[in-house]
Chains A and B, each alone.
Chain A
C-alpha cells in the first residue's frame, strides 16, 4: 500500500485553510458528533484505536489521557507545536495548510478529557503558521466552536496560542510547561507526570499536533476502520518528513508499517543519479542511524525500528548517500545537542560538550585513535541519568555513527582528512 491521504487529503486545496473551505469538506462535523457523546467513550475509542503519540516518544495517547486524576481539579490541554527535532517539518505543514483540522482535533480532545483551556505552544520561528492559526482561532470563536457553551452542548473551552522564542528543549513536555509558565524552558523531574501535575501544577495533557488531528479520524471512521491502516502495534497513518539525498524531499503520509525502501524509491523518487544509499536517520537526529542494509529491511513502525535499536521518533527521515562524510555529519549533530542542552544535569551539560569537542578535534585533523573509545565512553555515561531525554538523544547518534561507520572515523583520524571527500573540514566551516 502506498500513500494514504487521511490527514492530508485536502492539503492541496488552498481554501481548506479557511473555515468555509474546511467546513465544505465536512470540517467540524466530528466535533458536532463528539459533543453528543459521553466524553469517556471518546477516551475509550482513542485507547482502542491504539493511536500513539506522533511527537517522538510514541506513547499510547488514550492511556496518557486516562492517567488524569479524577479530583475535580482544572485540566489543561497543551498542543506541542514546537517542532524542534532537526529535519522534522510536518507540523508546520499541518498548521499552515489545515489550521482548523488541528483546532477541531484539539476541541474534541479537550472535550474528551474535559479541559476548559488549551494552548498551542508554537516555536517562534514559525511566524507564518502563527498568523494562520491566530486567524483560524478567531474564525472558530465566531462560528461558536470555541468559547462558552459550544453549539449548545454545555461544554465551554478557550484556546490560545503561545509563541516560543527559540529553544529546542521547549519541545520536551516539561520544558514546554516551564516556558509557558514564564520561566526558563528547563525540564522538570518526572514523576509527577504532567497528566498528574503539569501546567501550574494542574493535570495537563501534552500532545503533538499530528496526534491531536488524528483523533478526528478515529471518530470519523471508528476504531476498526482506523486500525485497518498500519500494524497491530502501530495503527494508523503517519506523516514522514523526508530530506537529504532524495530526488523529491517532502512530507508523505503513509500507513505505519510501510517499507522505508519504498518510501525512498517510490514516493521520494529514489536517490540522485549514480548514487548509492549509505545510511538513513529514521526518526529525527536523536534516532540512531541505520546502515543501508538495515534501511533496506526496515518498516516504518514503532516495533521494527525499536528492534533495530533505533526509533520512529518524530517521523523525520534523513537519507544519506555515498557522497557524504559520516564524521562531518556527526559533527553537525553533536554541535546541535551541545548548543541545546539546558545545562541542568551534569552528564548532559558536560557530556554534550565533550562529544562536540572530540568530534570537532577529529574533523580538524587533530584526532587520536583513543578518541573513538572516548566518544563511546562519554556517550555511554550520558544515558539514563538525567532529568530529560535530551542527554540520551545526544548520546545515541554517537553510539550508532561511530560503531557502524568506524572505519571512516579511523581513516579520518589516521589521515587527518575525510575518506569520502578527501578533504579536511578543518579549513572549511569553522
Chain B
C-alpha cells in the first residue's frame, strides 16, 4: 500500500474520530483530508488506507465517498477549475467560458490537460450569483468574469 497520510493528517483523523457524536461522521472530513494530501482526488487505494486507519469498513466509506460531488473519483489537474453553470451564471455566459477553456486547452470537460495543470468541470450554483459569471479554482472564488478576464486568470496561475 503506497498512500499514507502525513503525520499531521493522521493526527487530524484521530481527532475527527472523537469530535462528533458518531464515529462515522468523521468520514467526510477525513475524505477531504485525503483528497488534500493526494493531489486533489481520492483513489480506491486511499479509501482502503482510510478504512484501516478509521476502523470503518471500506464499503461504508465508499458509500459516503460516492454520494458527494466534491470528492473527485479520478485525478484532477493542479488547478481544478469549476465553472458554475446554474441559472444566473448561464445567463451571464459561463457555458461559453468553459467551452472556450476546453477548446483553448484542447481537453474534454472533466479530463486533465496533458501538462496536468487543469481540469475543467461544470458545477451547480456556488452562491455568488450576484457576481455572475463566476468560477471556483481549488478553494477560491473568481467573480464578475468576462471571457478575457477568465482567460487572464488561468494564465496568471503559476
What is A's interface to B at a CB cutoff of 8 Å? 83-89, 91-92, 117, 123-128, 160, 162-168, 179-185, 199-200, 241-245, 249-251, 281, 285, 316, 318, 320, 324, 328-329, 332-333, 336, 339-340, 428-429
Contact = CB atoms under 8 A, between A and B. Distances in A.
Interface residues of B, number: 41
Nearest to A268: B130
Contacts of A162: 20, 25, 28
A244 B127 contact: no
B8 interface: no
Contact of B130 (A117, A199, A241, A333): A241
Interface in B70-122: 70-71, 85-88, 90-91, 95-96, 99
A341 to B, nearest CB: 12
Nearest to B69: A166
Nearest to B139: A127
B125 A87 contact: yes
24 contacts: A83-B127, A88-B129, A123-B127, A124-B32, A124-B68, A125-B70, A125-B127, A163-B29, A165-B31, A165-B69, A165-B70, A182-B26, A182-B64, A183-B24, A241-B129, A241-B130, A243-B88, A244-B88, A244-B91, A285-B87, A318-B87, A336-B86, A340-B124, A428-B99
B70 A166 contact: yes
A87 B87 contact: yes
Contacts of B26: 182
A86 B86 contact: yes
B70 to A, nearest CB: 4
A165 B27 CA distance: 11
A339 B124 contact: yes
SS class, residues of chain B in contact with chain A: helix
Contacts of A124: 32, 68, 70
Interface in B13-70: 19-29, 31-32, 63-64, 67-70
A181 B64 CA distance: 11
Interface of B: 19-29, 31-32, 63-64, 67-71, 85-88, 90-91, 95-96, 99, 124-132, 136, 139, 141
Contacts of B28: 162-165, 179, 182
A167 B125 contact: no
A332 B89 CA distance: 10
A244 B130 CA distance: 8
A385 to B, nearest CB: 23
B86 A332 contact: yes
Given A83-B127, A87-B129, A125-B70, 9 more contacts: A87-B88, A162-B20, A165-B71, A166-B71, A182-B22, A199-B21, A200-B22, A244-B88, A332-B86
Contacts of A324: 91
A165 B21 contact: no
> Which residue, of B22, B87, B99, B139, has the highest number of chain A Cβ atoms within 10 A?
B87
B88 A318 contact: yes
B64 A184 contact: yes
Given A86-B86, A180-B25, A184-B63, A167 B129 contact: no
